[in-house]
């Protein structure tokens, strides 16, 4: 009734009853002391006044208190929901940022993200650094022979091989259809060759099978290495030139400074 809850009505009735009892008790105790008689209109007024005053007042007070408590609880729930929504939005933003930087097929950085990080690292490079460019061999033939789904799986295998051969602080990504690149900061010359050889061997030994037939997956690799500061464009051109030499020299091999290196050269 009038939006008054049962709980509020009970509290108000109890408060009103208590007021009536106190008022009647006062009349019964005080009036005789003053020489009067606690009967007649005075007695009835001692009951009526608390009913008329305390009843509505206590009902209003308890109703307001309950309304405030209900609103406070609602605000607390809204605050929790807002925090949850903010957390979900933050996670979504982080996920979208990761997706915007990641190659969806291989899990490495995409072209824009890799070159952005690579170019940002160049000015502060004071120690040794290496750039490895790997390109899948005869990739068109894989697509033509086994289909594009197998070609996609071959790229995933190459990405997994690279990811397993580099450290957590190294940069790697897919920058073209079948072209991958790795930037190794602080890596000496032999360390760069060793990493490239591990990648080459891991790819060639991936053991990929399609329709019961082995899929020949391998990569050719070019390496650029510098002891100190380097120009990103020149560094990339150097590695790309050696990649071309690895391709023209028979594929599934590594070329650095114009000559073949690694286990395949031994």
Q: Is 45 in a helix, a strand, or coil?
A: helix
In angstroms, the CA 202 to CA 198 distance is 6
Torsion of CA 264, 178, 215, 191, to 10 degrees: 30
**What values do phi and psi take at 171, rounded to 5?**
-100, 135
Dihedral angle computed from the Cα positions of residues 258, 260, 262 and 263, in that order, rounded to the nearest 10 degrees? 180
Question: What is the residue-wise DSSP string for 88-121?
Answer: HHHHHHHHHHHHHHB-TTTSSB-HHHHHHHHHHH
- Report the C-alpha gap between 36 and 26 in whole angstroms: 13
108 and 159 in contact (C-beta within 8 Å)?
Answer: yes
Would the CA dihedral through 28, 33, 39, 40 be positive or negative? negative
Which residues are identified as catalytic?
178
For residues 186 and 191, what is the distance between their CA atoms, to the nearest angstrom? 10
Alpha-carbon distance values, 149 to 50, 105, 143, 152, 210 (Å): 87, 11, 8, 5, 10
SS (H, E, C) 58-86: HHHHHHHHHHHHHHHHHHHHHHHHHHHHH
């Amino acid at each position: 009734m009038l939006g008054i809850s049962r709980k509020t009505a009970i509290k108000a009735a109890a408060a009103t009853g208590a007021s009536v009892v106190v008022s009647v008790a006062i009349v019964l105790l005080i009036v005789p002391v003053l020489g009067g008689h606690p009967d007649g209109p005075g007695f009835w007024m001692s009951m009526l006044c608390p009913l008329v005053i305390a009843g509505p007042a206590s009902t209003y007070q308890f109703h307001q208190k309950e309304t405030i408590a209900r609103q406070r609880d609602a605000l607390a729930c809204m605050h929790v929901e807002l925090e949850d929504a903010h957390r979900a939005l933050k996670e979504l933003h982080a996920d979208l940022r990761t997706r915007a930087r990641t190659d969806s097929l291989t899990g490495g950085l995409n072209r824009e993200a890799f070159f952005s990080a690579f170019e940002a690292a160049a000015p502060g490079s004071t120690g040794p650094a290496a750039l490895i460019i790997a390109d899948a061999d005869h990739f068109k033939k894989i697509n033509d022979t086994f289909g594009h789904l197998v070609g996609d799986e071959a790229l995933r295998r190459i990405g997994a091989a690279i990811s397993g051969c580099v450290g957590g602080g190294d940069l790697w990504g897919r920058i073209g259809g079948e072209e991958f690149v790795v930037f190794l900061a602080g890596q000496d010359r032999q360390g760069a060759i060793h990493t490239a050889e591990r990648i080459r061997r891991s790819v060639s030994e991936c053991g990929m099978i399609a329709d019961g037939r082995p899929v020949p997956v391998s990569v050719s690799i070019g390496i650029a290495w510098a002891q100190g500061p380097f120009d990103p464009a020149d560094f990339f051109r150097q590695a790309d030139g050696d990649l071309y030499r690895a391709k023209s020299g028979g594929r599934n091999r590594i070329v650095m400074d114009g000559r073949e290196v690694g286990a395949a050269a031994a």
